[in-house]
């Protein structure tokens, strides 16, 4: 379920999210920023001696291009030790979307759209992604992201804005879902330019007036669609595994007031169960990703259908040309035979020295050609193109009569009809 405030901040950029205060004053280039989020306030948290608030949780935002400066702070706040394998995965920019968990925390790797290089204008839309890694603790969430990301700084500025209109997140899972919603919304916004680009190529593929030659760009776009399909599938697997893990730990979701939804004993774990509202958010996020994947598959199928239609239309035009050439060859073949006979080197050929033999022969050859053309048209060996046939049918029908005026006839019209 998309957050309207976050969506507006994403569309407008960091400057539209309100004045930068507190931790946001350090800018998006700061490699480590910590916030203490409570039910009624959000404030920067000191990196060195900060503690988890009594009512609320801590959000630690870091860059994976920088060294592991955030690890010591997180281990001090949570008392948990992060595995070296997970830290290596968090620093790997090529890691696919993934989910893993331990008894103390959960790790979600989610690949979001990366910004194009500055000043680069491409004719083909490319799906460039960078991973954002979330570490979920009972009262702490860590986001490890690329330094060039605009989504997280925009959300952080909105949370620190005193004039904010949206409710503060009450749990680490809710904050992570808000960021994931913004990342998926960017994939949804990618559908319109992809569709427009492929529709333009489809029109070029089916244009009979000029041949299509931009095959390299078309194949590149098809690869990008397949990449988008694979990315969506990996994202779905990661989110569904995270949701199933939480449900399996606690035997189901809990109500928003904290009571158990099913009458089952909760598992002995520090990680809380998903509330009903958070489970709805996860299901809505999964549905959005499925929508992106379905759109990518439909576009890929449309491209393949357009390519097949292009080759079918090309083959049809080639067959028409070959049929026309074959008919012309068949028409001129007897004429060549006649001219070959009269071109023989004999001393005596009937009619060779007649004054009218030439015109008689030319007339017979013309009649023979007209008869052959008429015969081929009767047999439909010479067919008109669909465009010329449609134009000829319109000329035969003539102008269409205008529609009769609505309403009852006037007195003059009634008298004319009576006559």
For 131-165, the pLDDT digits (tens) are 999 999 999 999 999 888 888 988 988 888 888 77
How many CA atoms are closer than 13 Å to the CA of 208, on its beta-carbon side? 10
3-state secondary structure of 280: helix
Residue 174: the pLDDT is 92
Does the pLDDT of residue 202 top 90, yes or no?
no
**Which residues lie across from 63 on neighbouring strands?**
145
Cα–Cα distances (Å) from 99 to 185, 237, 355, in that order, read: 21, 8, 100
Percent of the chain with pLDDT over 90: 21
Distance CA 158, CA 6 (A): 8
Distance CA 140, CA 243 (A): 18
Which residue do the tokens 């067919």 mark? 383
Write out the H or E segment, with its range, that includes residue 59: strand 57-63
Q: Of 14-18, 177-181, 220-224, which gets the smallest average pLDDT?
A: 14-18
The pLDDT of 267-290, averaged and rounded, is 80
Residue 35: the pLDDT is 92
Please report, in angstroms and rounded to a whole number, the separation of the first and last CA atoms in the chain. Answer: 71
- Summarize pLDDT for 348-406 with one digit per residue, the tens: 778 777 778 888 888 888 998 888 888 888 877 776 555 555 555 665 666 555 444 44
Nearest Cα neighbor of 272 from 181, 141, 168, 184 is: 141
Length of the chain in terms of residues written: 419
Residue 136: the pLDDT is 94
- Summarize pLDDT for 93-146 with one digit per residue, the tens: 899 999 999 989 999 999 988 876 665 556 677 888 999 999 999 999 999 998
Residue 266: the pLDDT is 37
Distance CA 59, CA 34 (A): 6
Does the pLDDT of residue 14 top 80, yes or no?
no
Global model pTM greater than 0.75? no
As given in the structure block, the two tokens for residue 186 are 């960017």
Residue 339: the pLDDT is 85
H runs (alpha helix) in 164-275: 172-189, 191-205, 215-250
Give the contacts of 14 (CB within 8 A, at least 6 positions apart). Answer: 20, 28, 150, 153, 154, 157
**Which residues lie across from 32 on neighbouring strands?**
62
Q: What is the mean pLDDT of the chain?
A: 77
As given in the structure block, the two tokens for residue 418 are 């009576």
Does the pLDDT of residue 208 top 60, yes or no?
yes
Interior angle at CA 124, CA 98 and CA 219, nearest 5: 80
More confident: 12 or 156: 156
Residue 97: the pLDDT is 93
3-state secondary structure of 32: strand
Give the contacts of 361 (CB within 8 A, at least 6 positions apart). Answer: 338, 342, 351
Nearest Cα neighbor of 230 from 89, 97, 115 is: 97
Which residue do the tokens 């507006």 mark? 8
Percent of the chain with pLDDT over 70: 77
Residue 383: the pLDDT is 62
Nearest Cα neighbor of 20 from 113, 157, 121 is: 157
Does the pLDDT of residue 214 top 60, yes or no?
yes
Cα–Cα distances (Å) from 142 to 20, 86, 173, in that order, read: 21, 13, 11
Residue 233: the pLDDT is 92
Are the CB atoms for 331 and 369 separated by under 8 Å?
Answer: yes
**Which residues lie across from 131 on neighbouring strands?**
111
H runs (alpha helix) in 273-401: 276-342, 357-378, 386-397
Distance CA 24, CA 157 (A): 6
Q: How confident is the model at residue 69 (pLDDT cuts 50, 70, 90)?
A: confident
Question: Which phi-psi region, left, alpha or beta, contains residue 252 (left: φ > 0; alpha: ψ -120 to 50)?
Answer: left
Are the CB atoms for 175 and 14 separated by under 8 Å?
Answer: no
Q: Can you list the domains of the chain with their CATH numbers?
A: 4-262+269-312 (3.30.460.20)
Distance CA 112, CA 177 (A): 13
Q: Which strand ranges, in their side-by-side order, compose the sheet holding 140-145? A: 42-44, 32-37, 57-63, 140-145, 129-137, 106-113, 98-101
The pLDDT of 8-19, averaged and rounded, is 35
More confident: 3 or 310: 310
As given in the structure block, the two tokens for residue 144 are 């490890």
Residue 179: the pLDDT is 93
The pLDDT of 214-239, averaged and rounded, is 87
Interior angle at CA 128, CA 127 and CA 134, nearest 5: 120
The pLDDT of 62-73, averaged and rounded, is 84
Does the pLDDT of residue 334 top 90, yes or no?
no
Q: How confident is the model at residue 20 (pLDDT cuts 50, 70, 90)?
A: very low
Q: How confident is the model at residue 25 (pLDDT cuts 50, 70, 90)?
A: very low
The pLDDT of 81-92, averaged and rounded, is 91
Distance CA 173, CA 190 (A): 26
Residue 399: the pLDDT is 58
């Amino acid at each position: 379920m998309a957050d309207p405030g976050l969506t507006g901040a994403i569309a407008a950029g960091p400057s539209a999210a309100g004045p930068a205060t507190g931790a946001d004053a350090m800018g998006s280039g700061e490699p480590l920023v910590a916030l203490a989020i409570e039910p009624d306030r959000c404030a920067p948290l000191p990196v060195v001696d900060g503690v988890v608030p009594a009512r609320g949780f801590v959000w630690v935002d870091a860059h994976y291009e920088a060294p592991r400066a955030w690890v010591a702070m997180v281990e001090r706040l949570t008392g948990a030790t992060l595995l070296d394998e997970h830290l290596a995965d968090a620093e790997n920019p090529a890691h696919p979307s993934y989910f893993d968990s331990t008894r103390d925390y959960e790790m979600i790797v989610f690949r979001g759209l990366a910004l194009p290089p500055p000043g680069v204008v491409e004719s083909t839309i490319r799906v460039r992604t960078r991973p954002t890694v979330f570490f979920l603790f009972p009262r702490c969430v860590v986001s490890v992201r690329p330094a060039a990301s605009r989504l997280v700084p925009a959300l952080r500025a909105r949370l620190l804005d005193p004039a904010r209109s949206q409710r503060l997140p009450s749990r680490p899972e809710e904050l992570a879902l808000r960021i994931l919603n913004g990342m998926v919304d960017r994939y949804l916004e990618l559908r319109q330019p992809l569709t427009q680009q492929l529709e333009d190529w489809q029109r070029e593929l089916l244009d009979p007036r000029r041949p299509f030659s931009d095959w390299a760009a078309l194949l590149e776009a098809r690869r990008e669609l397949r990449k988008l399909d694979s990315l969506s599938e990996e994202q779905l697997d990661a989110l569904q595994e995270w949701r199933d893990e939480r449900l399996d730990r606690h035997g189901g979701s809990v109500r928003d007031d904290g009571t158990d939804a099913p009458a089952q004993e909760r598992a002995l774990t520090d990680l809380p169960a998903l509330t009903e509202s958070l489970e709805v958010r996860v299901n809505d996020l999964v549905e959005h990703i499925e929508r992106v994947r379905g759109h990518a598959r439909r576009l890929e199928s449309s491209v393949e259908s357009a390519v097949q239609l292009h080759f079918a239309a090309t083959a049809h035009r080639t067959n028409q040309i070959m049929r026309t050439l074959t008919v012309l060859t068949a028409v001129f073949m007897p004429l060549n035979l006649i001219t070959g006979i009269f071109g023989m080197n004999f001393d005596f050929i009937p009619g060779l020295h007649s004054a009218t033999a030439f015109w008689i022969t030319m007339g017979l050859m013309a009649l023979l050609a007209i008869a052959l053309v008429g015969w081929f048209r009767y047999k439909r060996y010479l067919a008109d193109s669909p465009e010329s046939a449609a134009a000829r049918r319109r000329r035969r029908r003539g102008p269409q009569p205008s529609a009769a005026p609505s309403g009852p006839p006037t007195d003059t019209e009634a008298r004319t009809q009576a006559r």
